[in-house]
Structure 1
């Protein structure tokens, strides 16, 4: 298993995993990911904020990070944090607890970058994800209506978000 930055060559695989995750979301929930802009992922790749886990040469999981997330975290954005977005697991690796691997990695990544928190969000009150993320050690902060979503992907518009954080010790 290896964790590394995604490259431009990975973009089609990232979108394949997004499409797979969205198809799964549609079977379980009313809210699901929209089709993301290619430029969003290209920017993340170029800024070394798009990540992947590879196992036996296959992409097992992808996610994105940022150190700044003001539209979602509003006043709390001032806290030094690593924000995780769009975790998408390859169906071939479902059940292998990719989130636990990402959490362990993110805690170390936060420490290395002098951050106090690892944070993530999900749109809506998704009880399955709330339970999963709290089992991974995140504190569920509650459901929040965002003041300004104009620069966020479409699924955030008009929908509350569940916020999660983990303090890195």
Structure 2
């Protein structure tokens, strides 16, 4: 990827659904090949993507107009986060990052780290205190990104039928 690529962060729209679903399927397969248990039980699925878009949770990072990364951002709402084995850094408003998936075509180019920059800027503009995120203990790629982006390990949450490592980054 060259420096003159046009990168844009925007809300996902209904016509994006099929491309997003394809990217999520690639990520499900990548998790499987990497030996991760995450996303191996029928979640997320096509209905998840449709619901994300309908509820305005879905966002995409595009490179020259082509969807490269998908993410769901949910403001102040993750029931599983109300009970944590550990402690969150804050108890104010937050955004939850769910379902980060990158297209195989754009993998390994640092775009997920760039996505986190866009998310953090967006969250700050909304005057929201922090970002919370969880991932599987065996999702090494995401764990490395969270460490690189300065997220603090807060404990464990029970989500989607399993125990997840939970992280938070205070932005304001």
Q: Which residue of 2 aligns with 1:3?
A: 9
1:167/1:61 CA distance change after superposition, 3 Å: same
Superposition map of 1:14-163 within 5 A: 14-33=20-39, 34-74=42-82, 78-142=91-155, 144-146=156-158, 149=159, 156-157=160-161, 159-163=162-166
TM-score, scaled to structure 1: 0.83
Q: Distance in 1 between matches of 2:55 and 2:12?
A: 10
| Greater percentage in helix | 1
Number of aligned pairs? 159
1:42/1:130 CA distance change after superposition, 3 Å: same
What are the ranges of 5 or more consecutive residues in structure 1 without an aligned counterpart? 150-155
TM-score, scaled to structure 2: 0.82
Q: Distance in 2 between matches of 1:162 and 1:60?
A: 25
Secondary structure at 1:120's aligned position in 2? strand
Tell me the C-alpha RMSD between the 2 structures.
2.0
What are the ranges of 5 or more consecutive residues in structure 2 without an aligned counterpart? 1-6
Select the residue among 162, 166, 171 that pairs with 1:168.
Answer: 171
